[in-house]
């Protein structure tokens, strides 16, 4: 089984599919949207991904994650009935680990139900199965201010970042980190600074 890859990104599609060149071998890896932007990059511009190898009778798929915790949560999601790899990937594309843990802890079925592929029954099952397992999980992320407290400029910035493929949770963290600048800087400057915070 492949557990980790380090190599050069040859291609990165908006859908989350990427090809990672490791010493001349190109591995096709499926990642949550925005993961490559958060992954560790070394001095040679090689990216490091934590890999989950999913073996089926007719295929062998590689799923890549920026952190080991992201991979661990992906595997927890796979343990939930009726949640397969593509659905689990969709959950982590729509929600950062911290946001998922909060939604599960609060029993926020409405938020979970907005994730593509997650219906009402699956949202209820996620809460039931994951509440204890995700409790206390620390992804090392800074706390995020609720988006409604950030103001109109922040809303536009959030929309722009999500439109560029970043997950809402990632975008919210980057916008929150800008603090007082949100009310004084032009949107173009704010976007540059937010992108700098999202890029290792």
Query: In this predicted model, what pLDDT tens digit does every residue of 19-66 receive, in sequence order?
Result: 999 999 999 999 998 888 888 888 888 999 999 999 888 889 999 999
Task: Give the pLDDT confidence score for residue 158 in this predicted structure.
Answer: 78
Distance between CA atoms of residues 200 and 198, nearest Å: 7
Domains of the chain: 4-65 (2.40.50.140), 68-134 (1.10.150.20), 147-198 (1.10.8)
Q: Are 178 and 195 in contact (CB under 8 A)?
A: no
Q: Sorting pLDDT into bands at 50, 70 and 90, what band is 142?
A: very low
Cα separation values, 106 from 18, 71, 93, 124, 139, Å: 34, 22, 20, 12, 18
Query: Given pLDDT bands bounded at 50, 70 and 90, which one contains residue 148?
Result: very low
pLDDT of residue 85: 92
Joined together, the tokens standing for residue 101 give: 């843990």
| Owner of token pair 């859908």 | 15
Per-residue DSSP letter, 80: S
Residues whose CB falls within 8 Å of the CB of residue 73, separated by 6 or more in sequence, listed in order: 92, 97, 100, 134, 137
| pTM across the whole model | 0.67
Is a pLDDT exceeding 90 seen at residue 188? no
Instruction: Name the DSSP class of 186.
Output: -
Task: Provide the 8-state DSSP code for 114.
Answer: T
Please answer whether residues 80 and 47 qualify as being in contact, where contact means their C-beta atoms are separated by less than 8 angstroms: no
Poorest-pLDDT segment among 42-56, 128-142, 171-185? 128-142
Chain segment 4-18, per-residue pLDDT in tens: 999 999 887 766 788
Instruction: Give yes or no for a contact between 68 and 25, defined as CB atoms under 8 angstroms apart.
Output: no
Can you tell me the distance from the alpha carbon of 28 to that of 170, in angstroms, rounded to the nearest whole number? 24
């Amino acid at each position: 089984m492949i557990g980790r890859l380090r190599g050069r990104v040859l291609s990165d599609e908006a859908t989350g599919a990427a090809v990672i060149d490791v010493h001349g071998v190109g591995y096709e890896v499926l990642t949550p949207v925005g993961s490559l932007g958060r992954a560790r990059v070394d001095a040679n511009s090689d990216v490091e991904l934590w890999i989950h190898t999913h073996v089926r009778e007719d295929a062998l798929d590689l799923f890549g994650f920026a952190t080991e915790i992201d991979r661990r949560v992906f595997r927890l999601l796979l343990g939930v009935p009726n949640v397969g790899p593509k659905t689990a990937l969709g959950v982590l594309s729509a929600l950062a680990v911290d946001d998922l843990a909060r939604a599960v802890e609060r029993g926020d079925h409405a938020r979970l139900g907005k994730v593509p592929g997650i219906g009402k029954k699956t949202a209820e099952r996620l809460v039931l199965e994951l509440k204890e397992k995700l409790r206390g999980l620390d992804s090392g992320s800074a706390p995020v201010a609720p988006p409604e407290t950030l103001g109109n400029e922040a809303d536009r910035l959030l929309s722009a970042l999500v439109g560029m493929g970043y997950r809402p949770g990632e975008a919210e963290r980057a916008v929150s980190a800008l603090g007082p600048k949100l009310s004084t800087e032009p949107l173009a400057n704010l976007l540059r600074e937010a992108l700098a915070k999202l890029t290792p």
